[in-house]
Amino acid sequence: MKTIFKLLLVCTLIAFTSCRNTEKEEAETKEAVEQIETIERESEKASQTIEKDAKDLENELNELDNL
Question: Cα(54)–Cα(57) distance, rounded to whole angstroms?
Answer: 5
| Residue 30: predicted pLDDT | 94
Q: Is residue 49 classed as helix, strand or coil in its secondary structure?
A: helix
Residues 33-47 pLDDT 10s: 999 999 999 999 999
Residues lower than pLDDT 50 in the chain? none
| Residue 21: predicted pLDDT | 65
Q: Which of 25, 23, 21 is nearest to 33 (CA)?
A: 25
Q: For residue 34, what are the domain limits?
A: 1-67
| Residue 38: predicted pLDDT | 96
Q: Is the pTM of this model over 0.75?
A: no
Structural domain count, the chain: 1
| Residue 5: predicted pLDDT | 83
